[in-house]
């Protein structure tokens, strides 16, 4: 059986670029939302704490695929019409950001009390306390769970197939229509590509962790 992988690769590459683009943009949004909501949840100001808490609870409780449908199909009726890319970025970013917010919050809380006390004893300003003492330590704690979350996000981009975005999964489904008899190989290849991409993510997070946690 002649398997024309060479002919498939350009299509799969195009799809991989779309997948990566959504991952990066959604990642940026998710990361910002994680930082804002995670720190917001620990804020001294009640309204900020409340808003952050609501955001985290609400979006962790919602189903990403349904959220994606809502953003893409329902939001335009409410007056906000987004392109496929931005719908995907918004839905994934909002959802993953809520999980990230929990990670940020718990990592900050995991910094020992003695570190706060020492920085008060050194008379550091609250801002300096946070930026120079708490954050560097919390950040290293965040890395492993954030790495896992990044992989979850990369995987979740496959859901954009449902709104007919030409990502990796979508391209593979099209190939399957044209090369029906090779279905198992096409899906096998698809799984392999996702696996390689995930491995790259976890590998770079581990590298970053080793670099930033040299003091451990």
Number of neighbours of residue 99 by Cβ within 10 angstroms: 20
Q: In the window 41-100, what residues touch another protein (CB under 8 A)?
A: 57-58, 60-67, 69-70, 73-74, 77-78
By CB under 8 A, the count of residues binding another protein is 62
Residue 25 found at the interface with another protein (CB under 8 A) = no
Binding mask 128-167 for another protein (x = CB under 8 A): x---xx--xx--x----------x---xxxxx-xx-----
Q: In the window 178-207, what residues touch another protein (CB under 8 A)?
A: 181, 183-184, 187-188, 190-191, 194-195, 198-199, 202
Return the structure tokens found at 75: 């939001």
Tell the smallest beta-carbon distance from residue 173 to another protein (Å). Answer: 7
Calpha distance 181→210 (Å, rounded): 46
**CA R_g for the chain:** 21
Q: Which of 5, 125, 178, 203: binder of another protein (CB under 8 A)?
A: 125
Tell the smallest beta-carbon distance from residue 60 to another protein (Å). Answer: 8
Residue 173 found at the interface with another protein (CB under 8 A) = yes
Tell the smallest beta-carbon distance from residue 106 to another protein (Å). Answer: 14
Nearer to another protein, 80 or 207 (CB): 80
Across 181-211, b (16+ Cβ under 10 Å) vs e yields ebeebbeebbeebbeebeeebeeebeeebee
Calpha distance 179→153 (Å, rounded): 29
Tell the smallest beta-carbon distance from residue 31 to another protein (Å). Answer: 21
Q: Which residues sit at the interface with another protein, rule CB under 8 A?
A: 57-58, 60-67, 69-70, 73-74, 77-78, 112, 114-115, 117-126, 128, 132-133, 136-137, 140, 151, 155-159, 161-162, 169, 172-173, 176, 181, 183-184, 187-188, 190-191, 194-195, 198-199, 202, 214-216
């Amino acid at each position: 059986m002649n398997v024309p992988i060479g002919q498939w690769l350009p299509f799969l590459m195009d799809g991989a670029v779309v997948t990566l683009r959504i991952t990066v943009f959604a990642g940026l949004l998710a990361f910002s939302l994680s930082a804002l909501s995670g720190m917001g949840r620990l804020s001294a100001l009640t309204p900020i704490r409340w808003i952050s808490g609501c955001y985290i609870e609400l979006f962790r409780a919602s189903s990403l695929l349904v959220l994606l449908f809502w953003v893409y199909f329902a939001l335009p009726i409410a007056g906000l019409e987004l392109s496929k890319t931005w719908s995907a970025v918004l839905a994934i970013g909002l959802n993953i950001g809520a999980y990230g917010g929990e990670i940020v919050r718990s990592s900050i809380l995991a910094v020992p009390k003695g570190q706060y006390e020492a920085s008060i004893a050194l008379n550091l300003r609250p801002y300096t306390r946070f930026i120079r003492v708490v954050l560097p330590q919390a950040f290293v704690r965040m890395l492993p769970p954030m790495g896992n979350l990044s992989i979850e996000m990369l995987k979740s981009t496959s859901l954009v197939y449902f709104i007919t975005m030409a990502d990796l999964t979508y391209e593979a489904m099209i190939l399957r229509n044209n090369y029906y008899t090779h279905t198992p190989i096409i899906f096998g290849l698809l799984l392999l590509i996702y696996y390689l991409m995930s491995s790259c993510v976890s590998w770079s997070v581990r590298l970053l962790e080793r670099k930033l946690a040299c003091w451990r």
